[in-house]
Amino acid sequence: MKKFRTLTILTFVFIIITFSFNAKSEYPITSIAVIDLNLILAEAKAAKKASEEIEGIALEIENSLKASEEELIKEQDELAESQAVMTPESFEDKMVNFQKKVQNFNISKQDRLQSLDNMIADARLQVLQALEPILEQITEEKGLTIILDKNIVLLNTEKMDITKEALKKLNKELSNIKISKE
């Protein structure tokens, strides 16, 4: 009886050890790297050029909106001055037209600001799309299994950081970004 019990225990231990080795072999050895995507998006040459171009477009939009706003203020002042000499019906018609202009201006302003946001998002996307094959190449070269954004990592060694290497390769691969003004 004692031999049977010992044999059962040994068999059970053998099965557990066998399954634990098989379970471990299914997963690759984990090798982790970190990358600072914010630094990449801020320091990549193409991203800097795109940022300057978008800033120029933003300045043009701002100047255009300011000029339109000044025209609306001038029209509002003229409307207020002419109110005393106009009939109430005539003033009401002009006021309705003016309010429509203000509403159209606000819609146009929102559309233009949204287009700026879209340009920024598109530029970021182009950088990230160009970065993806570079990260795949670095992953293959270094045998990495995981790359984490540095912003979510609390602590890492400098050896784990592939930001500089990725930025250097990205600057060689991506010289500029196409900015669509649509």
| pLDDT in single tens digits along all 182 residues of the chain | 555 556 566 555 555 555 555 445 566 678 889 999 999 999 999 999 999 999 999 999 999 999 999 999 999 998 888 888 888 888 889 899 999 999 999 999 999 999 999 999 999 999 999 999 999 999 999 988 889 898 888 888 888 899 999 999 999 999 888 887 76
C-alpha to C-alpha distances, 9 to 14, 18, 66, nearest whole angstrom = 9, 14, 85
Supply the pTM of this predicted model. 0.72
For 25-36, write each residue's pLDDT tens digit. Answer: 566 678 889 999
Query: Domain 2-173 adopts which CATH fold?
Result: Protein Binding, DinI Protein; Chain A (3.30.910)
Extents of the domains making up the chain: 2-173
For residues 130-165, one letter each, b for 16 or more C-beta atoms within 10 angstroms of the residue's C-beta and e for the rest, the string is: bbeebbeebbeeeebeebeebeeeeeeeeebbbbeb
Helices 45-82 and 88-142, axial angle in degrees (round to 10):
170
